[in-house]
């Protein structure tokens, strides 16, 4: 879900405010209601027991979105009884879309997941 602590401040020197992020650009509208409106599109706030198998990969050094958000999503999926269909991988030292996501080990994890569920 949208990093609430990022609202209204510079994020990883890429944007001047949360409204300039991909989420902010998609949703538009006034900054004051951005986080509430973001919930309409957030997987975390829209989980149902019919959700497809889910793989979550997140870098522990992500400067834009804290990996705690992915941990929270994983926990929520497990609470729905989806622990056997959900995988969480925290990639040590990886940033936001950094090269670690494109290494062979990561590709193998993704391919194993896709081969299992597709």
What is the tens place of the pLDDT at every residue in 87-117?
999 999 999 999 999 999 999 999 999 999 9
Q: State the Cα–Cα distance between residues 54 and 85, nearest whole angstrom.
A: 6
| Nearest to 66, CA basis, from 87, 47, 82, 90 | 90
Which tokens go with 102? 């494109």
Residue 3 has pLDDT above 70, yes or no: no
What does pTM read for this prediction? 0.75
Which tokens go with 116? 């299992």
How many Å from the N-terminal Cα to the C-terminal Cα in the chain?
Answer: 25
């Amino acid at each position: 879900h949208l990093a609430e602590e990022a609202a209204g401040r510079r994020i990883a020197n890429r944007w001047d405010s949360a409204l300039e992020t991909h989420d902010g650009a998609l949703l538009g509208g006034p900054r004051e209601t951005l986080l509430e409106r973001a919930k309409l599109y957030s997987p975390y706030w829209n989980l149902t027991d019919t959700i497809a198998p889910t793989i979550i990969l997140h870098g522990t050094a992500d400067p834009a979105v804290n990996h705690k958000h992915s941990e929270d999503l994983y926990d929520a999926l497990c609470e729905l009884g989806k622990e056997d269909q959900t995988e969480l991988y925290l990639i040590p030292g990886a940033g936001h879309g950094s090269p670690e996501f494109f290494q062979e080990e990561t590709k193998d994890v993704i391919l194993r997941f896709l081969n299992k569920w597709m």
